[in-house]
Structure 1
Amino acid sequence: MVIKKKKSTFYNILNTLITQFYLIGTGFILTILITRELGAESKGILVTLQLIPALIISFFDMGIRQSIAYYYSKNIKDRDYLITTSLYMLFLTSFLSIIITIGIYYLFYEEYLNIGYLIPIVLMIPLTLFAIYFRGVLQGLNEIPTINLARNTHQTSYIFLILLLLIFQLLNVKLVLWAEFFAFSLMSYVIFKNVKPELSLFRISFSKIWMKNIVTLGITYALTVFVLRLNYKVDALFLAKLRGPDEVGIYSIGTTIAELIWQIPGAIGVVLFSSNLNKSKKDATESTVRLTRISFVASIILGSILYFISPLLIKLTFGIEFIEASTAIRLLLPGIIFMVVFQILNSDMNAKGKPLMAFKVFLFALIGNCILNFLLIPTYGIKGAAFASTITYVISTIIYMVMYTRFNNINLREIICLNSKDISIVKNKLIRRIK
């Protein structure tokens, strides 16, 4: 493989952060354009058609991407076996995903068994799984800009095709699915082009050991992600059951806006996971806690601004009927800010092959979250849901911080207390970028 000059961690974080906001902004625009043109019924059909394969693919993801990234960075001599195993898994999971998807449509959604719908959906499945698995290879090689290029290529081409369909007044469910297929094809091509030298390592022989290793570690990543997602969504489920859909709608706006702060650890986490795979434990910990300190302070500043402007922001963007969402934002912010610390530390532990640390902490957090939601929501509604989440987020993050310090033999102050060296580093990086 051609040796590329590796980008700095700061560059990769900035590149990923820009990509995140680009995807969020354009995704919002796409949703508006497609929904207004299709109408409620056709939009519902599109969502249903997209949902089934998405759920099946998420099942067969199983944390495989993170597992491949971890092993690919640690086992340079065995990369031929890893590539071979990844390709065999791609063939197997693609076949099973296609069969299960068609089977679900046949058994439960027979009205959607239209060849015009099924062909692009079936073709998208292997492309999506290829992108997922081989993003793991790129992460193992710390090729973050390439991953972001692939994501941007998908989104930009999708927008372009949707706009063309709108201009020529051809937009319908079938052509939206085909536009999505071509967008996935271009994204997969970008990934293929950059992993092509690695694919030359493919061999016919199959390794059961590496299959077991990848799947076993992948399941631990998947379990952790599943528990974390439940923690993030359980409050809305309780609200729906105990109070009704109107409060869920208001609350969802509050959580969506408050969680924009998570774009910071989201961008850092992707980069940190890849870069720390190739570092010693000491170096990985040092860079992680520095980024955690800086991000924690940045999140406090952003959170403080959001706290004061949230009523006006909600009123201007969604209307006075959603003003209670600002209360949810204010109550959620302490927990959201603490979770910034957790998400960055967790990225480092994932790179060290220890995802179950978060699983253990947040499994108990999930139980506590459920109990608090059950007790508080009937009386306090949205306020109760937000308070329950903040309490569990803060306590869980503190527990995780203590576990992290013990595992890495550092002091708790090193995680959250900004120092003069941190300020100098940020200042120099910004000055260098401006110049």
Structure 2
Amino acid sequence: MSNSFIKNTIMTLTRQISGILLGLLASIIIARSLGPEGNGLYQLIVLLPTTLMTLLNFGVGTSSVYYVGKNKYEVKDIIKTNTASGIVLSLVSIIIGFVVVMFFSDKFFAGVPQDYLYIILMIMPLLMLNEFYLVIFQGVQDFKSYNSLALLRQLAALISLVLFIFILQIGLAGTVIAFTIGVITQFAVTLFLFKKSLKTNLLAGNISKDYFKDSFSFGFKAHFSNVLSFINYRADIYLISMFLNPASVGLYGVAVSIAERLWIVSQSISSVLYPVISSSNDIESKNKLTSIISRNVLFFSILGGIVFYFVSDLIFRILFGAAYDESSDILKMLLPGIILFSVDRILSNDLAGRGKPELNMYTSIFTVVSNIILNFVLIPKIGIAGAAVSTSVTYSLSTIIKIVLYKRETGVAYSKLVLLQKEDIALFKQLINKAVKRK
């Protein structure tokens, strides 16, 4: 494992921890200020543009990381082409969003004022371009800029949230404005970093027809998988809104946001792993790197899950208040799937980096269908607990299938992917001994 990989992973992990703290503070402010119902309304409002972006980005971001890593096209041409793609796709997203709000808001966004939904659609161009620009820094492995941008967006949103909620006291509208300010801040700083770090700007370079074709050809396979994964992540929110009410969305959303913090390590490592795998031709090294990461991520996720289980009641009572007591039970139901899915994230990025995104797609098709069926069956019967059970089961299924596919693709033994090896334990002992000696 190279020093640069470790350095970039630690840098990304540090940003993830900082981001979690900022995100958690924002979640607490929103949850306590608006209550379960208001919190649910906010989540449904911001879910509309993020869903459209996920459904309609066509894998351009994933392709950008892959082709930047391969050095097939100039970075300035990729940026220019991504800009054109982003503008066109965001305009399509706005049109589709308006249609959805006009004809289906009562079904999927019950209780949400339509004005909020129309207004939030206006940030689609910046949201899409932020996605297409951020991955450029990931592709060139400039993780300092990559992490700074993600963190600045959260920081700007949090500062704005404090202003609008506590000082101006404008409630739900304030949360939506704060979200928008975060998106605008990320876009502005991205343009600055293009000039400072990459020595380019939006006017430089040319729109590349070849890259455009390649990005959509490669990206579509990854995109379909990402869309299915997103549906797997968020179908439960829409279905809870359809069968229950915004307050239930608020209770469930808080539980999910806390449970997904267990992915902090896998998210950090997978962000660094993808461009590394994409740019490497040494199959043995790639296999070894991913297997080491997979089993260690699983080990630490299990430890973290045990801690979450026993402290969840205290966490929700102290941070969110008695109104969110039910969220603690939901978190406990989510934990098995969340823990196992940390491995899925690692293997998915490895397979995508090898140019095999279709394997992720096949897995996602099965798990999404299973998730939706389970949600339709369980939510009407047992409420938000049904959504939690559905999610946990399908996350677990996805991970098991992904491990089997990865083994068939690479030949790496199952034990090396999920069980700690002697060298891991020896490394842990070495690190502990060093820490003790320093004291």
CA distance 1:298–1:144, shift in 2 (3 Å): same
Could you tell me how far 1:20 is from its partner in structure 2? Answer: 1.9
CA distance 1:168–1:186, shift in 2 (3 Å): farther
CA distance in 2, matches of 1:382, 1:125: 30
Letter in 2 for 1:134: Y
Structure 1: gaps spanning 5 or more residues: 1-5
Contact persistence 2:375–2:387 (CA under 8 A): yes
CA distance in 2, matches of 1:154, 1:310: 28
Letter in 1 for 2:73: R
Could you tell me how far 1:430 is from its partner in structure 2? Answer: 7.5
CA distance 1:242–1:130, shift in 2 (3 Å): closer
Determine the structure 2 residue equivalent to 1:69.
65
Letter in 1 for 2:18: Y
Letter in 1 for 2:144: P
Q: Secondary structure at the match of 1:196?
A: coil
CA distance 1:316–1:412, shift in 2 (3 Å): same
1:217 and 2:210 correspond: no
CA distance in 2, matches of 1:300, 1:184: 37
Could you tell me how far 1:338 is from its partner in structure 2? Answer: 0.9
CA distance in 1, matches of 2:238, 2:132: 31
Determine the structure 2 residue equivalent to 1:8.
4
1:193 and 2:196 correspond: yes
Determine the structure 1 residue equivalent to 2:261.
260
Could you tell me how far 1:160 is from its partner in structure 2? Answer: 5.7
1:90 and 2:53 correspond: no
Determine the structure 1 residue equivalent to 2:108.
none
Letter in 1 for 2:335: L
CA distance in 2, matches of 1:35, 1:380: 23
Determine the structure 1 residue equivalent to 2:354.
352
**Deviations 1:22-74 (CA, angstroms, capped at 9, x unpaired):** 2233245456778999999x999999997776666555532211101101212
Could you tell me how far 1:180 is from its partner in structure 2? Answer: 5.5
CA distance in 1, matches of 2:160, 2:432: 37
Determine the structure 1 residue equivalent to 2:319.
317
Please give the residue correspondences for 1:319-398 in structure 2 after superposition, counting only pairs within 5 Å.
319-398=321-400
Contact persistence 1:154–1:187 (CA under 8 A): no
Could you tell me how far 1:415 is from its partner in structure 2? Answer: 0.3
Contact persistence 2:82–2:132 (CA under 8 A): no
CA distance in 1, matches of 2:373, 2:217: 31
Could you tell me how far 1:345 is from its partner in structure 2? Answer: 0.8
**Deviations 1:315-365 (CA, angstroms, capped at 9, x unpaired):** 333344433322222222111111111111111111112222122112111
Determine the structure 2 residue equivalent to 1:234.
235
Q: Secondary structure at the match of 2:198?
A: helix
1:139 and 2:138 correspond: yes
Contact persistence 1:154–1:186 (CA under 8 A): no
Could you tell me how far 1:220 is from its partner in structure 2? Answer: 1.9
1:402 and 2:404 correspond: yes
CA distance in 1, matches of 2:332, 2:404: 26
CA distance 1:39–1:343, shift in 2 (3 Å): closer
CA distance in 1, matches of 2:336, 2:33: 40
CA distance in 1, matches of 2:194, 2:205: 20
**Deviations 1:152-181 (CA, angstroms, capped at 9, x unpaired):** 344445556777889996999798656853
Could you tell me how far 1:14 is from its partner in structure 2? Answer: 2.2
Q: Secondary structure at the match of 2:412?
A: coil
Determine the structure 1 residue equivalent to 2:184.
181
CA distance 1:318–1:189, shift in 2 (3 Å): same
Contact persistence 2:9–2:268 (CA under 8 A): yes
**Deviations 1:157-212 (CA, angstroms, capped at 9, x unpaired):** 55567778899969997986568535531233124421226989x655x5433211
Determine the structure 2 residue equivalent to 1:3.
none
CA distance in 1, matches of 2:153, 2:194: 11
Determine the structure 1 residue equivalent to 2:13.
17
CA distance in 2, matches of 1:110, 1:375: 29
Could you tell me how far 1:246 is from its partner in structure 2? Answer: 4.4
Letter in 2 for 1:269: S
Structure 2: gaps spanning 5 or more residues: 103-112
CA distance in 2, matches of 1:134, 1:224: 21
- Structure whose CA Rg is larger: 1
CA distance in 2, matches of 1:235, 1:266: 22
CA distance in 1, matches of 2:82, 2:338: 37
Letter in 2 for 1:135: L
1:293 and 2:295 correspond: yes
Could you tell me how far 1:129 is from its partner in structure 2? Answer: 4.7
Contact persistence 1:228–1:362 (CA under 8 A): yes
Could you tell me how far 1:224 is from its partner in structure 2? Answer: 1.1
Determine the structure 2 residue equivalent to 1:79.
73
CA distance in 2, matches of 1:110, 1:383: 28
CA distance in 1, matches of 2:32, 2:372: 37
Determine the structure 2 residue equivalent to 1:148.
147
Which TM-score applies when normalising by structure 1? Answer: 0.79
CA distance in 1, matches of 2:177, 2:372: 42
CA distance in 2, matches of 1:275, 1:386: 34
Contact persistence 2:126–2:183 (CA under 8 A): no
| % same residue | 25
**Deviations 1:119-167 (CA, angstroms, capped at 9, x unpaired):** xx97x76665554333333222222222112323444455567778899
How many residue pairs were aligned? 420
Contact persistence 2:157–2:181 (CA under 8 A): no
Contact persistence 1:127–1:188 (CA under 8 A): no
CA distance 1:257–1:53, shift in 2 (3 Å): closer
Determine the structure 2 residue equivalent to 1:284.
286
Could you tell me how far 1:99 is from its partner in structure 2? Answer: 8.5
CA distance 1:34–1:290, shift in 2 (3 Å): closer
